[in-house]
Structure 1
């Protein structure tokens, strides 16, 4: 069955749908046919092809690619340059993309490249409406199309990006209908996107975020767009935020390799924790924030998500560059265990966490003994206003004020925003410049104290000999940033923090009325600048052994019958 939709061709074989890209492959024209036909092109160079070799190549295609299927053997062309394509009546070869339904509602828009490889456009094709009537359709290219080179070592890796990050040719929506309406398609890629595209990554879509990457609860605070579904357990656990879509997509789809998000005060770490995946907040300044909707340059960072430590280490090297030489060889001699925030309330979760090595440290005791102002106030009291005073003026002057003024000037009325941003619209201007200056003074004091007394900065190679682990909970609404909690530590220190899935715990769901499994995760904080070294360390410890599954259960459940 062939359907024509808005100039695009959707071909369906049984229960699998394919999209035929409208841009033909350069230099590939073979004999003209009468109909659109799936086709496999096999490259042989100057090699003589035997039936056995042909069978081996076809078997390899099936093992290594989720787009290729035996339907593409209807026509087989053997020539010097191999591709998996659809053959048009004019004899041109067009790349074939497999279509998947976005069942978790993680994406805001699906994307495909244009003739310009660094510019994208929205996918103008739909499928699976009879089964998933409200789901977007996502198109993924065949892995057989890509050859890794020194210039593009990540060729063909599929990635989704958070929709506060600019992608050339598309609008950046930031989960706001008003913001989407106001500003047109972006003319430049964000710095992180440009870097990924140069390395060979393929962007398959933009992912949902809380509005302007602020703090929102699903689903009551998500007004303009519905929150993505966390696939774990009964499917109705909150996805956290703000990089909710980025985490939900990786936790749901095994056909997606990586996603990119941002973290200001937990926006990567929270979603990674509750959805049981690898995710890291980077060191402050580790990657340019150009082309991204800002919150505060004192805290904004770019990071990513993956389903195993080996894949995450690859992504970290792509984002932040390899550490000096052949990699960080410095041995970690201390893993600090902050007893201020341990043990956790859930006994089963605590048992999972206790499997990791520990060196107990009481941060409050360290603070009382070493703080530079000789105050008797505890950490949580002394630094409770830092984020509130430092970040909120940045959000107002660096983004919100200009957006609201632009919208009123353009449309003659106020922009409608979600409840949290309605609160922020009134609250942000009340934080004074004097308060911000005081907050910055306190922030600099904390970073200096942390590096001197808790975890020193990484050496020139990006190596660290001390890491710290902790555990996450969630934040409250009408959120101003006031307070000091364990998830403030790495942002205040300007240091990287990697969330590592550690296991899962069972509970009785009141919704599904059966036993379900919730992910358990730990956060590991390294010294500032040790981003890649931290990812490589966890990879050396875990590799693919702690790989998590996509779907309701992060780790396979062993039952009595299979033991």
Structure 2
């Protein structure tokens, strides 16, 4: 009787179980791959049973389109054409699946490589590239696993169902850092409808991604709210254009500016790969900057810029980055800092992908090819007293020669003093001193903090969530001012915007903007192992705030590197040197064209990943 009860209990328990495969991982000659749970396709009569030895029933194979048969007359030609892909390797040549109506011909058909002719289904073509196959004909598209040794990601993602995403259920054996999975670029073909097909993109973790939780850099926020039900508008535009979303990237908390390592509490700041490996990655698009500077397998990252959050990481890691003209893209589904200032932009090493992604994200950009006849320079050194000064002056000289314009030094403070807006008596620095901190603190308190606190208390018996020191300091600053201060800040911002558009960069029917403004951003090293004073509100006015208040495009362009003596390595290291280019509002396409031309002229540098923008092994990287 007792035995019968035990069996009944076991049967009852078993009937309640739910088993769902999340895929598997395997090693192919020491390279880690993630295999999805569902096959990409199941082929009819595949004749794969005699394939090479398999792992768990899976055999590596390569699919080649029949139309390419003439190009693949030798194995060497196959390797030459497919070998540039980082997911495909020669190990996938165990079997060639030739998609087409006839049997293959050529020397490789008589080699040790097994060749299988796949009949055309008459309607679609199987994407070429690497697959894992079962004897029954199921083909799986693998994801190559890479180590996030820079600590840039909050979650790596893979597609789920109905256009949603899910966390990657895989890791690299023996590696401490999380894994990020990427599919082969061979699967994707760019078209006018899909100009970003196969482009791998990382998303700053303030953007909603369907099926995935958003953290905003705060653990309590991540735990409180459910997964997003839809992509943020900027993310959806990238997906619709064929971009491959590989993961979400770290942000400083609630997109407020934090300095590594002191200000980061909930999440550890990513590692800037440049120089000695212990430089601050800047913020708030810290993860996007660190990832782009570290990983050659990542093409593009989506960040946001309210007060410098794209431009700072781009400058310190030597990347192309843009704060666009304000209002170019709807930010529904994106955590706000201050709607009057928030923008969505990119960080990347590739200026071609950068421009293509901008066309997708912003739409309707006019790519002017004639350049303005006025060139202003802000903050450039008077003489080459250091390596960085020399790079900056040489770059300015070469841009002047390229545009056939002599730059004029622009002193905004003096220009404002000589031509203030009507009714304004204050100096520029006084007039705008509190504008930025009032806007971000008052708006984020209303839109983020107060609803968050109320929801957390309701869910946790009146408890208060943890928040990092920097957002708390900024929110407290705003609490000390009446609501009328927000109105004053908006009015001051608008007054500066109008003044700037009348006195510095005007719109022009021929060149879009009647002037270009250049400024330099190379600074002293900022070490992540130094003790800092407590954070305060970001008061004051600087050149980096011009585009913030004037709503004009502001693009970071890498132009070289400069030496410094590291207190970490006790050795000479190198950090990037960049310039920023600004134009009138709405003239983003003008700057994109100019950057392409500066790259072609060798003035702007296309950076590599690594210790320097010229490459090199990253120092102090986490073991992977």
Q: Same fold (TM over 0.5)?
A: yes
Query: By how many angstroms is 1:27 displaced?
Result: 5.9
Is the Cα–Cα contact under 8 Å of residues 13 and 71 in structure 1 kept in the other structure? yes
The residue aligned with 2:622 is none
Is the Cα–Cα contact under 8 Å of residues 63 and 127 in structure 2 kept in the other structure? yes
Gaps of 5+ in 1: 558-563
Query: By how many angstroms is 1:51 displaced?
Result: 6.1
Q: Separation in 2 of the partners of 1:462 and 1:414?
A: 54
Query: By how many angstroms is 1:544 displaced?
Result: 9.0
Q: Separation in 1 of the partners of 2:597 and 2:60?
A: 43
1:120 paired with 2:179, answer no
1:434 paired with 2:474, answer no
Q: Separation in 2 of the partners of 1:524 and 1:538?
A: 9
Is the Cα–Cα contact under 8 Å of residues 62 and 69 in structure 1 kept in the other structure? yes
Aligned residue pairs: how many?
Answer: 543
1:489 paired with 2:546, answer yes
Q: Separation in 2 of the partners of 1:497 and 1:428?
A: 27
Query: By how many angstroms is 1:346 displaced?
Result: 6.8
Query: By how many angstroms is 1:9 displaced?
Result: 1.7
Q: Could you state the TM-score of these two structures normalised by the residue count of structure 1?
A: 0.91
Of 601, 614, 618, 1:555 maps to 614
The residue aligned with 2:119 is none
1:70 paired with 2:90, answer yes
Q: 1:199 to 1:384 in 2, by over 3 A?
A: same
Query: By how many angstroms is 1:174 displaced?
Result: 1.0
Q: 1:376 to 1:432 in 2, by over 3 A?
A: closer
Query: By how many angstroms is 1:36 displaced?
Result: 0.8
Q: 1:48 to 1:377 in 2, by over 3 A?
A: closer
Q: Could you state the TM-score of these two structures normalised by the residue count of structure 2?
A: 0.83
Is the Cα–Cα contact under 8 Å of residues 71 and 77 in structure 2 kept in the other structure? no
Query: By how many angstroms is 1:338 displaced?
Result: 2.1
Q: Separation in 2 of the partners of 1:351 and 1:82?
A: 50
Query: By how many angstroms is 1:42 displaced?
Result: 1.0
Q: 1:261 to 1:28 in 2, by over 3 A?
A: farther
The residue aligned with 2:134 is 88
The residue aligned with 1:155 is 197
Q: 1:489 to 1:233 in 2, by over 3 A?
A: same
Give per-residue Cα distances to partners, 1:415-443, cap 9 Å, x unaligned.
11111123344333333211111111111
1:186 paired with 2:225, answer no
Q: Separation in 2 of the partners of 1:27 and 1:536?
A: 46
Q: Separation in 2 of the partners of 1:311 and 1:44?
A: 30
Of 41, 44, 61, 2:66 maps to 44
1:478 paired with 2:478, answer no
Query: By how many angstroms is 1:308 displaced?
Result: 3.6
Q: How does 1:76-225 map to 2 (within 5 A)?
A: 76-80=96-100, 81-83=126-128, 84-116=130-162, 118-127=163-172, 129-130=173-174, 132-133=175-176, 135-225=177-267
Q: How does 1:521-560 map to 2 (within 5 A)?
A: 521-543=578-600, 545=602, 546-555=605-614
Query: By how many angstroms is 1:469 displaced?
Result: 1.3
Is the Cα–Cα contact under 8 Å of residues 321 and 532 in structure 1 kept in the other structure? no
Q: How does 1:17-28 map to 2 (within 5 A)?
A: 17-26=32-41, 28=43
1:464 paired with 2:510, answer no
2:561 counterpart SS class: strand
Q: Separation in 1 of the partners of 2:464 and 2:392?
A: 48
Is the Cα–Cα contact under 8 Å of residues 311 and 323 in structure 2 kept in the other structure? yes
Query: By how many angstroms is 1:502 displaced?
Result: 1.6
Query: By how many angstroms is 1:368 displaced?
Result: 1.7
Query: By how many angstroms is 1:209 displaced?
Result: 0.5
Q: Separation in 1 of the partners of 2:424 and 2:430?
A: 11
Q: Separation in 1 of the partners of 2:285 and 2:494?
A: 27
Of 2, 12, 16, 2:31 maps to 16
Q: 1:39 to 1:125 in 2, by over 3 A?
A: same
The residue aligned with 1:560 is none
1:420 paired with 2:470, answer yes
Q: Separation in 1 of the partners of 2:371 and 2:260?
A: 42
Gaps of 5+ in 2: 1-19, 101-125, 401-406, 527-531, 617-624
Q: Separation in 2 of the partners of 1:447 and 1:419?
A: 31
* Greater gyration radius: 2
Q: Separation in 1 of the partners of 2:69 and 2:194?
A: 29
1:353 paired with 2:392, answer yes
The residue aligned with 1:236 is 278
Is the Cα–Cα contact under 8 Å of residues 11 and 19 in structure 1 kept in the other structure? yes
Q: Separation in 2 of the partners of 1:442 and 1:476?
A: 30
Is the Cα–Cα contact under 8 Å of residues 233 and 333 in structure 2 kept in the other structure? yes
Q: Separation in 1 of the partners of 2:320 and 2:385?
A: 21
Give per-residue Cα distances to partners, 1:465-523, cap 9 Å, x unaligned.
41111133699863423211111111010011001112111112121122110111111
